Amino acid sequence: MLKVRGDMKKIQLILMSVVLLALYSCNSNIYSEQLKKERQLIENYISRSGIVVVDTLPADDVWGDNVYYRVPDYDNFYIHMVEKGDTAEAEIESGETVLLRFKRYTLTEYPDTLYCWSTLDSPDPVKFQYLVQSDKACTGWQAALKYMKYTDAQYKIICPSKMGFSEENSSVTPYGYDLKIKIKRY
């Protein structure tokens, strides 16, 4: 009787394992598939928006209206300079305080991107330190600041989920941001 019970438990365990394995292998939403879908969403957004992607950083005065630079150190990360900013001031340095205003868009399929968040709706900008780990600044912003450099710089970025905030990483949803910075020096 004990042997039969033990054998039954083994059989139940094997059956449960087979069922779980079958469910897992049939799941089309595994992370690698989600990353492929995200990459495709970014490519589709670039295509339908008429964005011209370049692999050489344009000179400060020759960025076209819809020219985005593919940042080589990151996958699927693109920047576009709207305004260079106040070059009379020094370039931003590590640890300096940045005040940032932004609009965030999800880069989904049609009907087009969806506006989802903006600091323009709040009285205060996001405040963080450049190149200092912070839950207030996503990796994409920190990477873009390297190019923004000056107070009053305005950029647009296309950012994969892994360069967004940590809570965005699991959704594997790419975002676009319109950024404007102020550098606060003490």
Residues 183, 89: contact at Cβ < 8 Å?
yes
Mean pLDDT, residues 52-59 taken together: 95
pLDDT tens track for 131-176: 988 777 888 999 999 999 999 999 999 999 889 876 665 678 888 8
Mean pLDDT, residues 67-86 taken together: 94
Say how far apart CA 116 and CA 110 lie, in whole Å: 15
The residue among 70 and 164 whose pLDDT is bigger is 70
Residues 142, 77: contact at Cβ < 8 Å?
no
What value does the mean pLDDT of the chain take? 82
Say how far apart CA 38 and CA 41 lie, in whole Å: 5
> pLDDT confidence of 62, banded at 50, 70, 90?
confident
pLDDT tens track for 28-54: 568 888 889 999 999 999 998 999 999
Q: Which domains does the chain have, with CATH numbers?
A: 31-184 (3.10.50.40)
